[in-house]
Chains A and B, each alone.
Chain A
Amino acid sequence: MFPEERSSDIFQPIVGSWYESLENPEKSQRLVLLNLVKEYEKTRYGKNHHASEIKEVTDYRAKFPIMNYQRLHPYLAEIQKGDYANILPEPLACWVMTRGSTGPAKVLPATKTHLEQIFTCGARALVNYVLRKRDFKLLTGKILNLNFPSNVHTTVIGGQTVTYGYSSGTYARLNPMLDKVSLLPRQEEIDALGPGITKADWEKRFELVYQQAANENVTATMGVTPVILSFARYVKKKHGKSPKEFWNLRALFCTSVRKIQFKYARSLRRYFGQVPVVEIYSATEGVFAQQLDDLPYITPNYDKYFFEVETGQGTKMLHELKRGEWGKLIISSCMFPRYDIGDIIEAAGNNYFRVVGRHTMLTLLEHGLYRLFFRWFV
């Protein structure tokens, strides 16, 4: 499907600027910030916060407060009425929603630039993996699509009825990069089974995936990590065999949750065999980082997002963190400035990081004790 000798032409646009940004994160982040600020100038929120006067990172921190999903609500209400320019630099392309297994539902707008970034960065883990391992065979097989449905609710914006659904499915459905590989089943087929997320709904979806894939050459999975795991358990329970007995998978591309390497990888391998688990740090708000090599860490997309971390010693740039430093991750994207994504991130040196978990008392306590404990021995 992808002739090996032409691979760099096809893949360069996807991973090229990422690789470049890793050479000099500081330079790349400065550039990203200046470009972002130019976009924020177009919004009323940006004007109110004097985006046009920003020349340095320190100006930016002084003028823009940190925001989160709660504080975004009044602005979302206005976007829903058709007034996007209050906070978004460009028109709304679609709505996307998310529902963690425990957290509340979040509905967020998506702009064209945001979607383009999601598609590019969403393909990075796969492309990087194929290039690094020279494993072009991975692209000749089918890739299991294990995402949420993309049609759940409808809403009226500017007199038009718009359908929206879970971000993972929406991004999979719209992603032109994924047209080049053979997703199985296609997102439209998943959507056709309806929007429910009860156990019965999932079993219907899993059966569809299984029926389509049973006799195919499946080389990878791509999707929401707990869904991949549940699918494997379903196949084992209903059809008596683990996925590793049906397919010879080459890699698992796992998104949407924290602690993929530390919590899910082992269970996944029990069902899928000894295959590499490739972590993608993504949320409805963006695809922020992905695994660069065999080490169980993620490497940020410095060329697309602007990353800050609130640590015990004040706010720092993500790339400034030394090994062992950690804090609350603040991300500026083409849609929102200084958005608190609600995750705790820890540096592992160089461009390697680990998302410790959600920003909750439990995680803070757990991580604090973990560090306390290891200070005694390491």
Chain B
Amino acid sequence: MPYCQKCGTEIREEMAFCPKCGAPLKAEQPPVEAAPAPAPQMAEKAEKREKREKEEKREKTEKHEKREFGVIGPLVGGLILVFLGLTSYLQVSGLLRTEVASALFFIIIGIIIVVGSIYAALMASRRHPRT
């Protein structure tokens, strides 16, 4: 039974309920009880994976922060805050859907960072002109 009968969403075997619409999915396979040990093991494995992911994430954030820590740090932060305020205002007033907002968010953040670093590079080369 790989699909929900109510809404057609693809489902995984161990699921008890459809992740899209919440409809119950009758489990026809034999109970998992037969093997009581795997569940905690699986949980541990998943935990390890999560730990690794988290570490990677932290590294990324650190790198990210270091890059931002120039003169343009506050500037970029400010621009992002202004933009965040704007998007959440638009979201609340129903003019912008959440998915659109987050996509837009990443695009604009990207642009801000790119423009910011180009600007910083320009300023730096002006301060230390190559002879």
Q: Is A240 an interface residue (CB 8 A)?
A: no
The A-contacting residues of B in range 7-64, CB under 8 angstroms, are: 12, 14-24, 26-27, 31-33, 36, 39-40, 42-44, 46-47, 57-58, 61, 64
* Beta-carbon contact of B27 and A376 below 8 Å: no
Bound form: Cα–Cα A233–B92 in Å: 12
B-binding segment of A19-27, A95-103, A131-139, A173-181? A95-103
Q: Specify which chain B residues have a CB less than 8 angstroms from the CB of A78 in the assembled complex.
A: 31-33
Bound form: Cα–Cα A361–B14 in Å: 27
A-binding segment of B76-84, B114-122, B123-131? B76-84
B20, B39, B73, B88, most chain A CB atoms within 10 A? B39
Bound form: Cα–Cα A83–B16 in Å: 13
* Beta-carbon contact of B74 and A77 below 8 Å: no
* Beta-carbon contact of B27 and A80 below 8 Å: yes
B-binding segment of A6-14, A299-307, A362-370? A362-370
Q: Which listed residue (B16, B18, B78, B98) contacts A80, Cβ 8 A?
A: B16
Q: Specify which chain A residues have a CB less than 8 angstroms from the CB of B81 in the assembled complex.
A: 369-370, 373
Name which residue of chain A comes closest to B6, CB basis: A153
Q: Is A115 an interface residue (CB 8 A)?
A: no
* Beta-carbon contact of A105 and B22 below 8 Å: yes
* Beta-carbon contact of A368 and B61 below 8 Å: yes
B20: min CB distance to chain A, Å: 6
Bound form: Cα–Cα A267–B90 in Å: 11
A77, A153, A154, A368, most chain B CB atoms within 10 A? A77
A294: min CB distance to chain B, Å: 22
- What range describes how many residues of A lie at the interface? 35 or more
B-binding segment of A29-37, A63-71, A201-209, A212-220? A63-71
Q: Which listed residue (A45, A65, A105, A259) contacts B47, Cβ 8 A?
A: A65
* Beta-carbon contact of B65 and A65 below 8 Å: no
Bound form: Cα–Cα A361–B106 in Å: 11
The B-contacting residues of A in range 47-79, CB under 8 angstroms, are: 48-49, 65-67, 70-71, 73-79
Name which residue of chain B comes closest to A372, CB basis: B77
Bound form: Cα–Cα A79–B47 in Å: 23
Q: Specify which chain B residues have a CB less than 8 angstroms from the CB of A107 in the assembled complex.
A: 16-17, 22, 24
Q: Specify which chain A residues have a CB less than 8 angstroms from the CB of B22 in the assembled complex.
A: 97, 99, 105-107, 152-153
Bound form: Cα–Cα A104–B36 in Å: 28
* Beta-carbon contact of A83 and B99 below 8 Å: no
Bound form: Cα–Cα A350–B18 in Å: 41
* Beta-carbon contact of B15 and A77 below 8 Å: yes
Bound form: Cα–Cα A237–B41 in Å: 55
Q: Specify which chain A residues have a CB less than 8 angstroms from the CB of B47 in the assembled complex.
A: 65-66
The B-contacting residues of A in range 296-350, CB under 8 angstroms, are: 312
What are 27 inter-chain pairs, A to B, with CB distance below 8 A? Answer: A48-B36, A48-B40, A71-B46, A73-B12, A74-B32, A75-B39, A79-B16, A80-B27, A102-B99, A104-B19, A104-B20, A106-B22, A107-B17, A153-B6, A153-B21, A156-B24, A263-B92, A264-B92, A266-B92, A267-B92, A312-B58, A365-B61, A369-B68, A369-B81, A370-B77, A372-B65, A373-B80
Residues of B within 8 A of A (CB): 6, 12, 14-24, 26-27, 31-33, 36, 39-40, 42-44, 46-47, 57-58, 61, 64-65, 68, 73-74, 76-78, 80-81, 84, 88, 91-94, 98-99, 102, 105, 109
Q: Considering the complex of A and B, which 10 residue pairs feature the smallest CB-CB distances, nearest first?
A: A373-B77, A155-B24, A105-B22, A107-B17, A76-B16, A77-B16, A97-B22, A104-B19, A376-B74, A74-B14
Given A65-B40, A74-B32, A107-B16, list of 4 further CB < 8 A pairs? A97-B17, A263-B88, A369-B68, A369-B80
